[in-house]
Structure 1
Amino acid sequence: MTEVEVEKTSRRKQCILKAVTAALEEDDYSHLTVEDIAARAGVGKSTIYRWWKHKSDLVFDAFKAQTASVFELDFEQSLELNLNQQLLKLAHALNHPVGRALLVVMAEHREAAGEFFKQYLLPRREQTRKLIQIAIKRHEIIADYPFELMLDALYGPIHYQIIFFNRMPDETYIQSLVHLLMQPVLVQK
C-alpha cells in the first residue's frame, strides 16, 4: 500500500468510527446497524466488513478511538491521585453512549469481551501495576497486599453504578471509594 492509500484508509476508518459514535448518540446498541453506519460514513457495507466482522467490533474500536489518550497515568503523581483520576475518566467514558454500548457488547459477546480485555484493558492494568510498584518504592504503600483484588474492588463499583443504578459515579463517590480501598495499603508514618 502506498502512503496515499494508507492515509485514505485511515481517514475512511475514522469517518466510520465517527458514524458509529453519531448513531449511538441517537439510539442504543440494539438499534445500531451496519447499513446506518455505512450511510452516515458515505461508504458501502462491504467497506465496513473489510475491516470489521461485526458491529460489536465497531463499538470496541469507537471506544478505543474516543479514549486513546484519556487513560494516561502520571507516574510523577501518587497512586491515590492517579486512581481517582482514572476512575473518574472511566466513569465518564462508560457513561457516554459509546461506553454504554460497549458494556452491552461485553455482556452479550463473551469472546469479543475477552479480546477487548486482552487488547485494551490488560495493557492499562499493567500500567496500573507499574504505578503500584513505583508507589511501593516511594514508600507510599505497603508491598504485601493483594493488589489484583484491590484493582477489581476499585473498578467493579464504577460498572455497577452505571449498569444497575444508571448513575454516573461523581467525584465524591470515586474519592470515597479510592480512600476506602487505599487505607489498608498506606504506609503509616
Structure 2
Amino acid sequence: MIEIEKTSRRQQCILNAVVEALEQHEYSSLTIEDIATRAGVGKSTIYRWWKHKSDLVFDTFKAQTASVFEMDFSQSLEYNLEQQLLKLSKALNHQVGRALLVVMAEHREAAGEFFKQYLLPRREQTRKLIELAVQRQEIKADYPYKLMLDALYAPIHYQIIFFNQVPNAEYIHQLVTLILAPARCVGEVQ
C-alpha cells in the first residue's frame, strides 16, 4: 500500500513538472531531462511509466481535465453542449492543451490511442445525453449525431489553432444554436 502511494505521488510530481515546463516553453522544447529535474526524479523513473514525452502530455491533460467534462443529465442537451465547448476551449487554450494539439498532429498513433482511451468514452457519454434529449423530445431521433458532434467540436479547434482565439460564450452559444437548429423537434420554442 505504501509503495502504491509513493508511486502515485511520484507520478503526480512528474505530471506537475510537465505543467511547469510547458508554462515556460512550448512542446517542441519539452525534454524528459527538464521534467525529471523539475520533478526531482531520474529519467529512468519517467521512462518506467511513459515511453515518450507525448505520453506525458496526454496523461497531464487527462489529469487536469478528469472531472471537467462531466455531463449533467438533468440539464438540456443544449446546456450540456455549451458547457462542454466552453470547458474544452479553456482546456485547449492552456499550455498543456496547446501541447496536446501539437502532439495529436505529430504523433498519429499516440493520438489514436488518446482518442480511444479518453475521447471515445466522453463521446459515448454525449451519445447517452443525445438519446435522453430524443426521449425528452428536445431533438429528432433521425439526425446524424456523429456529424453534429464533429460540426460542434471542429470550430473550437479551428479558432484556437488558426486564429489563436478562445471562443467566448456568445460564439459557443451561436454555434450550438446553429448546429442544433435542424435537429430540433418541429414546433419547439427556442
Match of 1:141 in 2: 139
Q: Which of these residues, 163, 167, 188, is aligned with residue 165 of structure 1? A: 163
What's the offset of the Cα at 1:188? Answer: 2.3
1:32 matched to 2:51? The reply is no
1:117 counterpart (115, 118, 122): 115
**Letter aligned with residue 53 of structure 1:** K
Q: Deviations over 1:116-141 (max 9, x none)?
A: 00000000000000000000001111
Aligned counterparts of 1:77 and 1:61: Cα–Cα separation in 2: 29
CA deviation profile, 1:5-30 (whole Å, cap 9, x unmatched) = 00000000000000000100111000
Q: Match of 1:131, SS? A: helix
- Structure 1 residues 42-61: aligned runs within 5 Å: 42-61=40-59
Distance 1:107 1:72 in 2: 26
Matches of 1:153 and 1:62, distance apart in 2 = 27
1:84 is aligned with what amino acid? E
* Aligned partner of residue 76 in structure 1, secondary structure: coil
Alpha-carbon distance in 1 for matches of 2:86, 2:182 = 22
Is the partner of 2:182 in helix, strand or coil?
Answer: coil
The one-letter code of the counterpart of 1:33 is T
State TM-score, norm by structure 1.
0.98
Partner of 1:8: 6
RMSD across aligned positions (CA): 0.4
Runs of 4+ in 1 over 2 A off after TM superposition: none
The 2-side partners of 1:147 and 1:68 are apart by 24
Once residues 145 and 102 of structure 1 are traced to their aligned partners in structure 2, the CA distance between those partners, rounded to angstroms, is: 31
**Correspondence for 1:103 among 101, 104, 107:** 101
Q: How far did residue 78 of structure 1 move?
A: 0.1
CA distance in 2, matches of 1:41, 1:55: 14
1:188 aligns with 2:186: yes
SS class of match (1:149)? helix
State which of 20, 28, 34 in structure 1 corresponds to 2:18.
20
Q: What number of residue pairs does the alignment pair up? A: 187
Take 1:49 and 1:24, find their aligned partners in 2: how far apart are those partners? 19
Identity %: 75
Could you tell me how far 1:66 is from its partner in structure 2? 0.3
**Alignment partners' CA distance in 1, 2:150 and 2:159:** 14
- State the Cα deviation string for residues 124-172 of structure 1 (Å, max 9, x = none): 0000000000000011110001000000000000000000111111111
Task: Specify which of 69, 75, 78 is matched with residue 76 of structure 2.
Answer: 78
Residues in 2 aligned to 1:184 and 1:167: alpha-carbon distance in whole angstroms = 27
Q: What TM-score does the superposition give when structure 2 sets the normalisation length?
A: 0.98
- 2:53 and 2:76 map into 1 onto residues whose CA distance is 39
